[in-house]
Amino acid sequence: MPERPRQLHINVNILQAGVFGGSWRFPGTDPLSSYRLDHYLRIARKAEAALLDAVFLADGAAIRDNIRYRPTSSLEPTIVLTAIARVTERIGLIGTLSSSFNDPFNVARRLATLDQLSGGRAGWNVVTTADAASARNFGLDQAVEHGLRYEIAAEFVEVVRALWRSWEPDALVADRDRGVFADTSKIHAIDHRGAYFAVAGPLNVPRSPQGEPVIVQAGASNDGRALAARIGEVIFTAAGTRAAAQGFYWDVKSRTATFGRRPDDIVILPGLSTVVGSTEAEARQRRELLSELVHPRYAIGRLAGQLGLPEESLALDRPLPFDLLPEPEQAAGSRTFYGIVVETARREQLTVRQLLHRLGGGMGHRIVAGTPEQIADTMIDWVDHGAADGFNVMPDVLPEGFDDFADQVIPELQRRGRFRTGYEGTTLRQHLGLREPDYSRPGGERVHG
Amino acid sequence: MPEQFHVNLSLLTPGQLRTAWRLPERDPFAYLDVGHFRRLARIAEDAKVHAVFLGDSPAAGAIEQAPSSGIDPPILMSHLAATTERIGFVATSTTTYNHPYNLARRYLALDHVSGGRGAVNFVTTYAPDAAANFGWAEPPPKEERYRRATEFLEVVTRLWGSWEEGALVGDQSSGRWADPAKVHAIDYHGEFFDVRGPLSIPPSPQGRPVIVQAGGSEGGLRLAGCFADVVFTVAQTKAKAVAFREDIRRRAVAAGREPEAVKVSLGVVVVTDETEAAARRREHRLYETIAIGSATAAVARGLGLDPADLGPDDLIHRGDLPDQPAGSAPEGFQISTRALLEEGPLTPRQLIYRSAGGGGHRLVVGSGRQVADDLEDWFTAGAADGFTVMGADTGADFENFARHVVPVLQARGLFHRDYEGATLRENYGLPQSGQTARPAVSNGAGRA
């Protein structure tokens, strides 16, 4: 028998009305959909019918965009994901929760609850939250310094995992005759005392059907990659070119050995903004329309903010003022996107106008516009060339653009034998081909058999 | 006085009597089983119950003999909201071990997801094992917890008010999604919190979630007068309940609110069945599940007595108790038990049986008609605006209340036959946007 070709892993990122700055203005779109539960339920049901690995909800703890021009971060992910869990049976549920503005006990419990209620479908995207607006809602003037945020995040995750492992599987005995409900010798305090957290434990939620939620991590900086290799099971990343994606993929996978892990303990999923058309021309037209729907004032303001430049320094028909650019460390937001934007502008010698068009008021992730065949081609190409294990798909317009992706791109991938034609498991861990944690040492680190 | 009262049903499983899991017909693990809670929500909504409620403490608790706190309440409630239409959801969260921006956002999200049916019961959590999960060697003193809670609610309510009406535009043709001039920072600076704001979510279909408050101490009552839409309370005697309700209404008026803007919801534990005899049989079977030794020790600790000195059948006189309620247990419970002992001495066993396990709430046992009689009597006496009903044995009493008590109440015109509106605020009969006042205890810090 020939070996089964590599299967893709695909999530849909439900970003308000779509990934672009003008998505909410696209004809037929509900501009306020991000506050309506039905929006999320409809997309999640469609994603489950299309056999996707998971739905993903990003998050931030502040208004982080210019709401004059577009929707911003919206409903808190765990609240929406638990509602989605009510109307779905198989699809994974990944949400972003900040390690900088939460307590590990609360996060461990909320995610363990989501994992219980969904039958083992939860995933946690650990973010350190770089923006000052969020920090100001938690008593700080600006975000904690980058390296320290990652140090805190590493300890945060360690505590959360120890809490998830604080119950042995057979801790609940319910012996009616003796009146013994729990064997407390199998429920362990964690007594964590670290540099940033002191947590006694144990948790009050037992292990889930998948053992514990899947840990997702993003962040391309050196600190981010190190954390990814140490604790990440799924890595969200942003890469504009296949070569850049290959570099990241190889780097993170080869770092796993340092932490006693294997390359396939990690599933790497670059973001991919999709614009599907029945012909290439139609897709390009759609892409044009979406660019036109982005208010130019917004686009310039956002780019200036991302790069840490004053708005006046950007002229539409001139190149980026490279000499004015701050060091990446000084830029306000995510270093990953700073790097991609600057690199793209430099490599392709783009004017600001061209660069804005390229970004589309989107998140800086790679945009692919084309027919279902073309989109399937490029997805497979990346996976076959060691650039990705699959994709975190950010449709151009929601729900409609995702309907097209689910109805046209997914069947194309299936025809080529690259995507499942039925769920093989019931948990997110199973969909992703990830192993359950090894619990041979209760409360301890994962041990390989 | 309005002619009808509200009813909330508690989801607490296995029930107010925590050892009810030992009954052979119960699933001992139901407290972790989402299917169980889905079923209860369905039953409650079919019976037009105003809201389901779940208490909480963020710690594993003592689980050797019975389930303690388990899954996270707001996560459970949002799950149940997805497939219900009208029933409200009252989840409990602590102000001592959370940050106001996070809870403001999470509960407003629940309120959006449920279409305006969310409520948050703010508690300050005295449990020492909870403190240890958040870096504290012991819980902050009660006075500090309430100072923090007061600031917490001030921040939360300001965040919920940070978007003016009309801030959300969503005009596709002009490209104006929102009007930033109508979305305001709160710039709060207090003793415990510095919060810039605004919140990242606009108001919900009912404006903001309903605020519930449950603490019976002076700090809790002050908080309730300023912020609460609904006050949960515990009373073993009608006179105490009437006095409490009058006190709360006075406090609301003193804070510049309408007396009708605060609803008092009296806790009552129920064992009910088709007949009184059947209810009594169940009551006695439930008592057999109690480990009397540890329940007696819990009563002793709750009243500030030494467990080593107290047997299950020793009489406790009012004079045996310390002058002030013990700092280690909820004050509402202690006040209600003290009031009971003023009428005569009781043994721990009597106290435990009387409140189905010793939780302090009044126990009512009987047929649907008898339970309805009791609630009618207390309601007409002015003891409450409604009841938060806790099954002694939730696995039976939740459904029994819906089947045997609710129809009697409806036939008497004491309980609505259908929901008045789409939001919890409408169904409770609360003012539309919610009404809160600045707390008198505020030192003025953080005024915008």
Q: What's the whole-number mean pLDDT along residues B84-101?
A: 98
Per-residue b or e along B274-291, where b marks 16 or more CB atoms closer than 10 Å to that residue's CB: eebebbeebbeebbebbe
* CA Rg value for chain A: 22
Three-state DSSP class for residue B410:
helix
**How many CB atoms within 10 Å of residue A268?**
26
β-pairing verdict for B168-171 and B176-178: antiparallel
Beta-carbon separation of A113 and B75 below 8 A: yes
Ranges of chain A whose pLDDT falls below 70:
1-2, 73, 329-334, 360-363, 440-449
Q: Which candidate, A433, A445, A379, A383, places its Cα nearest to that of A408?
A: A379
pLDDT for res B443: 34
Q: B51 pLDDT exceeds 90?
A: yes
Partners of B183 in the beta sheet?
B163
What pLDDT is recorded for position A443?
Answer: 42
Nearest to A9 by CA among A272, A252, A360: A272
- Name the burial class of residue A281, with classes exposed (0-12), middle (13-18) and buried (19+) by CB atoms within 10 angstroms of its CB: exposed
Contact check, Cβ <8 Å, B21/A174: yes
Window 250-279 of B, Cβ < 8 Å to A: none
pLDDT of residue A295: 85
Residue B2's pLDDT is 66
User: What's the pLDDT at A362?
Assistant: 60
List CB contacts (< 8 A) between B132 and chain A. Answer: 199-200
Q: Which residues of A touch B171 (CB under 8 A)?
A: 31
Count Cβ–Cβ pairs < 8 Å, chain A vs chain B: 195
SS3 labels along chain A: CCCCCCCCEEEEECCCCCCCCCHHHCCCCCCCHHHCHHHHHHHHHHHHHCCCCEEEECCCCCCCCCCCCCCCCCCCHHHHHHHHHHHCCCCEEEEEEECCCCCHHHHHHHHHHHHHHCCCCEEEEEECCCCHHHHHCCCCCCCCCHHHHHHHHHHHHHHHHHHHCCECCCCEEEECCCCEEECHHHECCCCEECCCCEECCCCCCCCECCECCEEEEECCCHHHHHHHHHHCCEEEECCCCHHHHHHHHHHHHHHHHHHCCCHHHCEEEEEEEEEECCCHHHHHHHHHHHHHCCCHHHHHHHHHHHHCCCHHHCCCCCECCHHHCCCHHHCCCCHHHHHHHHHHHHHHCCEHHHHHHHHCCCCCCEEEEECHHHHHHHHHHHHHCCCCCEEEEEECCCCHHHHHHHHHHHHHHHHCCCCCCCCCCCCHHHHHCCCCCCCCCCCCCCCCC
- A177 Cβ neighbours under 8 A, 6+ residues apart: none
Minimal Cβ distance to B135: which of A32, A139, A198: A198
Closest CA to B42 of B90, B75, B89, B84: B84
Which domains does chain B carry? 6-270+383-428 (3.20.20.30)
Tell if the CB–CB gap between A187 and B63 is shorter than 8 Å.
Answer: yes
Which residues on A lie below 8 Å from B81 (Cβ)? 83
- Name the closest residue on chain B to residue A59, using Cα atoms: B200
Pull the structure tokens for residue B289: 């599940």
Do residues A266 and A253 lie in contact, with contact meaning Cβ atoms separated by under 8 Å? yes
Q: Cα(B109)–Cα(A190) distance, rounded to whole angstroms?
A: 32
Question: How is residue A428 written in tokens?
Answer: 């997110």
- Looking at residue A305, its pLDDT comes to 82
pTM of the entire predicted model: 0.93
Say what the pLDDT of residue B448 is: 30
Assigned CATH for A9-164+200-276+365-432 = 3.20.20.30
Distance CA B356, CA B295 (A): 11
Do A432 and A9 form a contact (C-beta atoms < 8 A)? yes
Among A417, A405, A312, which Cα is nearest to A7's? A417
pLDDT value at B439 more than 70:
no
Q: Which residues of A touch B101 (CB under 8 A)?
A: 61, 101, 137-138
CA–CA min distance A20, chain B (Å): 13
Nearest chain B residue to A86 by CA: give it: B79
Chain B residues 172-231 with CB within 8 Å of chain A? 172-173, 175-180, 183, 193-198, 200-202
pLDDT tens column, B257-306 = 999 999 999 999 999 999 999 999 999 999 999 888 888 888 888 888 88
What is the per-residue pLDDT across B325-354, written as a single tens digit (0 to 9) for each? Answer: 766 666 777 777 888 888 899 999 988 887
| Span B141-160, average pLDDT | 96
Cross-chain Cβ contact A138/B82 below 8 Å: no
Say whether A67 and B198 touch across the interface (CB within 8 A): no
Which residues in A lie closer than 8 A to residue B166 (C-beta atoms)?
none
- The ranges assigned to domains in chain A are 9-164+200-276+365-432, 295-359
Of A31, A60, A176, the CB nearest to B177: A31
What integer is the mean pLDDT of B347-368? 85
Query: Is A152 at the interface with chain B, CB within 8 A?
Result: no
Residue A122's DSSP bridge partners are A93
Paired tokens of A359: 């970004």
Residues of chain A positioned with their CB less than 8 A from the CB of B197: 137
Residue B445 has pLDDT above 60, yes or no: no
Tell me how far apart the alpha carbons of residues B390 and B405 are, in angstroms, rounded to a whole number. 13
Q: State the complex-level ipTM.
A: 0.93
Contacts of A35 in chain B (CB under 8 A): 112, 201-202
Pairwise CB contact (< 8 Å): B193 & A184: no
Predicted confidence (pLDDT) per residue in B193-231, tens digit: 999 999 999 999 999 999 999 878 888 999 999 999 999
How large is the greatest C-alpha to C-alpha distance in chain A, in angstroms? Answer: 81
User: How far B194 CA sits from the closest chain A CA (Å)?
Assistant: 4
CB-based contact, A120 to chain B, within 8 Å: no
- A12 shares contact with chain B (CB less than 8 Å): no
pLDDT tens-digit map of B311-332: 999 999 988 888 777 666 667 7
* DSSP E strands, B69-214: 88-94, 118-123, 168-171, 176-178, 188-189, 194-195, 210-213
How close is the nearest chain A Cα to the Cα of B218, in Å? 28
**Going by C-beta distance under 8 Å and a sequence separation of 6 or more, which residues neighbour residue B386?**
B5, B6, B7, B8, B50, B263, B264, B265, B266, B379, B428
Q: What pLDDT does A446 receive? A: 41
* Chain B: closest CA distance from residue A245 (Å): 33
